Structure 1
Amino acid sequence: MTDFPKMKLRIALWAYAALWTLGLPLALFYLWRRGRKDPDYHSHLAERFGLGSTPMPNAIWVHAVSLGEFRSAVPLINALLGQGERVVITHFTPAGRRSSTQVYTDEIAAGQVQVVWVPFELGLCFANFFHRFTPKYGLVMEVEVWPRMIMAARRHRVPLFMCNAQYPSKAFDRDGQTGLRAQLMQGFAGALVKSDLQARRFAQVGVKRIEVTGELRFDQPIPPAQVAAGRALKPARDVVVIASAIEGEDDGYISAIKAVREVRDTLFVYVPRRPERFNEVAQQIKDAGLRMARRSEVLTKDLSGSLPEGIDVLYGDSLGEMYFYLAMADRVVVGGGFNPKGAHNIIEPLALKKPVLVGPETWTIEYPLVEAEAAGVARSVPDFEALAKALIARDDPSAAQIDAFFAAHAGATPRTLAGIAALRV
């Protein structure tokens, strides 16, 4: 695109580069501070500068900022590996890095996969990264718009595609069609998007090459051992899983738990979103007078063991075991929806034929929630009181309804591979 970037964006990019150069000590301080709770933030610091990793020429670069984005990338990464490609995966958060390192242990040992930190937003850092990996192309999962990443990829002639992309309504309205962030998206080599609505939004801000490929999370592999362990542990009474609860929601969920338990003997499985919050939220649940058992204390590493009698809450203080918790459920509440930041992924519980409830802030999962609500397999509720009433009512869809919905939306992986081929022509 010959007029990219326009002068206003060019000036903003100069200012952004200056801020990052001057602010690098603050970025290092941020990592140090986060590392006080999670030491992995301190590890492999050279990779933040594009250094320290083993060169892997002509790899496919997949950027998945954290755990959720990595999970959506897994079926595509598996397909790329199946085609004989080598893949470098970049993350910003330790949760994403730990998960990808665990999932691809064998492939890392065989030299097919590398997992590294995404470089700092500085041109020299990305120059080092591109020198070590010379990617054929890059795939940025979901909605990540990093100016220096985009401009460095263009400078080094690395086609960079948005993948599994959506443009949430709040972000679309905020950016406007001529805002700097909207203009910056024109720097991508193309977009592989979730739905026709998303394609129209990206086109409106000037993204020219777009392929509608669907949602990769519908193709996620399901770990059979976790599912078997969850089903084996499930008690006879009702089980509700509150998955990926985020900061600011805990009081409301605790009030809903108490309201439901006044009516029916129900076991709640409570899984916070971030491991840094595990101890804090556990204490909050105890202070509320609920009888709680921590997964880390009552179950072994391989998920064997038994639940103590009479507990109200099984507390999910572990990472990478979401399918274990979901397999226990009769119904699932997906977190984030009672916070302006927006709800999290509803596809994992639906994959196990579990009805889903979520709060009112659903702009982050516009697709596939609109379609899921129309199919009757998921529902958004306005507040915690309505959530408690819905859990008490147990007006659940059938497994056949959920199966039909899932079948209608699967198959994004081959469509994405075809879309990449089309965009690279």
Structure 2
Amino acid sequence: MSVTSNSEYGARPRFWFAVYQLLWHLLLPLAFIRLVWRARHSFAYLHHIPERLGFGYGKLITQGSIWIHAVSVGETRAAQPLIEAYLARGESILLTHMTLNGRRTGKQLFGQAIAAGKIRQVYLPYDLCWSVEHFLRSFKPKFGLFMETEAWPTVVFRCKDLSLPLFLVNARLSERSARRVSQFGNAGRALFQAFAGILAQTEFDAERYRSLGVRNVIVSGNLKFDVPLDSKLVKQGKTWQGELHAAKRLMVCAASTRDGEEAIILRAWKGLLLSNAFEVQPLLCLVPRHPERFAEVAHQIEAAGLTFRRRTEWLDTPTESAKLDVVLGNSMGEMPMYYSASDLVVMGGSLLPFGGQNLIEACAAGCPVLLGEHTYNFQQAALDAIAMGAAKRVNGDLLLGEAVALTEALKGLLSNRAELAQMSAAAIAYSVEHQGATKKILAALDQQNFSLS
């Protein structure tokens, strides 16, 4: 893959770009109102406001860094092996985010490097010409790597204008998203064609980008297979699982659930408990994807008549769960612990049409996965996991009032310890087999005609 000269592509869709800029300026006040609204939950939403306009970076700006944009939590974690590889080479990193939780995750993962000045962490400014211009001219990065699905038109086109190589790495594009891009005609296609190159997770993703007229596309695999699990959290999880197993109790983790899915899961769980299929009732660990929904989900558990406690009510791993039906996972950054403690995962985002969430981390922890039908954001990963026996898909309508299909799927797996053990071994094999994306991405970028010194 080689860096493509700007002349290869048609002119920027100037009319639509002008409309886009106008809309951004009109909606800018709403963006700040949204931050103020979110500050009800955490005042940190109002921190670093000037950065969102391309200013407020201070006098100590390191130029010539490798710029990695990871919009939120998942992208930041996925970028970890790539960031660590560049730090090991002695490179400095400019790490940008769009969300508060993404920034918090970056600080959690790379706190030492940030303190040492090897990583500079800021918000990517809103996609306005003047804010993007000031950001790029302040930092003058060596080249940019956008994680997964991010493609902000002002940033992408301005990097192209400045001959600043910008790559989309660990890139994925669902069939639904590809259709949406195509609806914008040349304007949508020009956006992805303006990247210097796209390094896609799977051949499915690569073909969708090629269908948009992008020629510089290679398949490099999924970085999330290379992300190591936090050993301390894994140990905590195994300790918790040992205590549960000593009491002859299994645990199911409903991970990264979205609005509407908790109701389905709680109906299914109540049906499972009322079935009296187990000598010792299993435990549900319910972990909503968005922290701002923790209180709402707690009310749903109470309304379902299930006994529960919040994870934050324990200092270490929950040890007093004998009489509980549910543990509410209302903590951040502890998914490896929840997965390591669990015997089965119900993957959120897949029960309703949200496109699914990342199942790779659960498999790396050796935890079998139960999926709904909506996995289009992780199509290849889901198909491969099912093919290897690491995951199963729920058959039936999950919107039925009693969520019978999910109840039966849970009952069938939890009643078969041998099958769970086979799926656990398959999950680990699946996660190991697909590692190596970091090396492929580094090798592809090393072949470019800019210096990585």
TM-score (norm 2): 0.89
For 1:270, the equivalent position in structure 2 comes to 286
Q: Does 1:288 align with 2:304?
A: yes
- State how far apart, in whole Å, the 2-side matches of 1:260 and 1:82 are: 50
- Superimposed CA distance per residue, residues 324-355 of structure 1 (whole angstroms, 9 cap, x where no aligned partner): 11111001111011222211000010001111
- State how far apart, in whole Å, the 2-side matches of 1:309 and 1:340 are: 34
C-alpha displacement of 1:101: 0.8
Local SS of the residue matching 2:67: strand
Q: Does 1:212 align with 2:219?
A: yes
TM-align CA RMSD = 1.7
Query: Percent identity over the alignment?
Result: 36
Q: Does 1:73 align with 2:85?
A: no
Local SS of the residue matching 1:21: helix
- State how far apart, in whole Å, the 1-side matches of 2:16 and 2:300 are: 44
Contact 1:130–1:156, Cα closer than 8 Å, also in 2: no
C-alpha displacement of 1:423: 4.3
C-alpha displacement of 1:422: 2.9
C-alpha displacement of 1:314: 1.0
For 1:243, the equivalent position in structure 2 comes to 255
Match of 1:197 among 192, 200, 204: 204
Q: Does 1:391 align with 2:410?
A: yes
List alignment gaps of at least 5 residues for structure 2. Answer: 1-5, 414-418
**Structure 1 residues 70 and 424: alpha-carbon distance in aligned structure 2, compared to 1, 3 A threshold:** farther
User: What code does the residue aligned with 2:445 have?
Assistant: I
For 2:344, the equivalent position in structure 1 comes to 331
Q: Does 1:417 align with 2:442?
A: yes
C-alpha displacement of 1:157: 2.4
- Superimposed CA distance per residue, residues 369-393 of structure 1 (whole angstroms, 9 cap, x where no aligned partner): 1111111211222424322211111
Which has the higher mean CA deviation after the structures are superposed, 353-362 or 398-407?
398-407
Q: Does 1:13 align with 2:13?
A: no
Local SS of the residue matching 1:211: strand
- Superimposed CA distance per residue, residues 78-120 of structure 1 (whole angstroms, 9 cap, x where no aligned partner): 1111111111111111111111111111101110011111101
C-alpha displacement of 1:305: 5.5
Contact 2:254–2:285, Cα closer than 8 Å, also in 1: yes
Which has the higher mean CA deviation after the structures are superposed, 74-83 or 151-160?
151-160
Contact 2:390–2:424, Cα closer than 8 Å, also in 1: no
For 1:350, the equivalent position in structure 2 comes to 363
User: What code does the residue aligned with 2:394 have?
Assistant: V
Local SS of the residue matching 1:344: coil
Local SS of the residue matching 1:167: coil
**Structure 1 residues 402 and 76: alpha-carbon distance in aligned structure 2, compared to 1, 3 A threshold:** same
- State how far apart, in whole Å, the 1-side matches of 2:202 and 2:34 are: 36
- Superimposed CA distance per residue, residues 115-140 of structure 1 (whole angstroms, 9 cap, x where no aligned partner): 11110111111122112221111111
Q: What pairs up with 1:182-193 in 2 under 5 angstroms? A: 182-193=189-200
- State how far apart, in whole Å, the 2-side matches of 1:63 and 1:169 are: 24
Contact 1:76–1:413, Cα closer than 8 Å, also in 2: yes
Match of 1:402 among 424, 427, 434: 427
Local SS of the residue matching 1:251: helix
C-alpha displacement of 1:6: 4.1
**Structure 1 residues 179 and 291: alpha-carbon distance in aligned structure 2, compared to 1, 3 A threshold:** farther
- State how far apart, in whole Å, the 2-side matches of 1:5 and 1:94 are: 36
Which has the higher mean CA deviation after the structures are superposed, 343-352 or 192-201?
192-201
Q: Does 1:2 align with 2:27?
A: no
- Superimposed CA distance per residue, residues 196-251 of structure 1 (whole angstroms, 9 cap, x where no aligned partner): 22222211211121221100000001101101111111212011000001111111
- Superimposed CA distance per residue, residues 10-36 of structure 1 (whole angstroms, 9 cap, x where no aligned partner): 210011112212332222222222222
Q: Does 1:34 align with 2:41?
A: no
Contact 1:357–1:387, Cα closer than 8 Å, also in 2: no
Local SS of the residue matching 1:176: helix
For 2:175, the equivalent position in structure 1 comes to 169
C-alpha displacement of 1:173: 2.8
- State how far apart, in whole Å, the 1-side matches of 2:385 and 2:146 are: 26
C-alpha displacement of 1:179: 5.2
Number of equivalenced pairs:
421
For 1:376, the equivalent position in structure 2 comes to 389
C-alpha displacement of 1:71: 1.1
Q: Does 1:25 align with 2:32?
A: no
Local SS of the residue matching 2:286: strand
Local SS of the residue matching 1:357: strand
Local SS of the residue matching 1:104: helix
- State how far apart, in whole Å, the 2-side matches of 1:413 and 1:45 are: 33
For 1:256, the equivalent position in structure 2 comes to 268
User: What code does the residue aligned with 2:371 have?
Assistant: V
For 2:61, the equivalent position in structure 1 comes to 55
TM-score (norm 1): 0.95
Contact 1:191–1:210, Cα closer than 8 Å, also in 2: yes
Match of 2:103 among 97, 104, 111: 97
User: What code does the residue aligned with 1:307 have?
Assistant: E
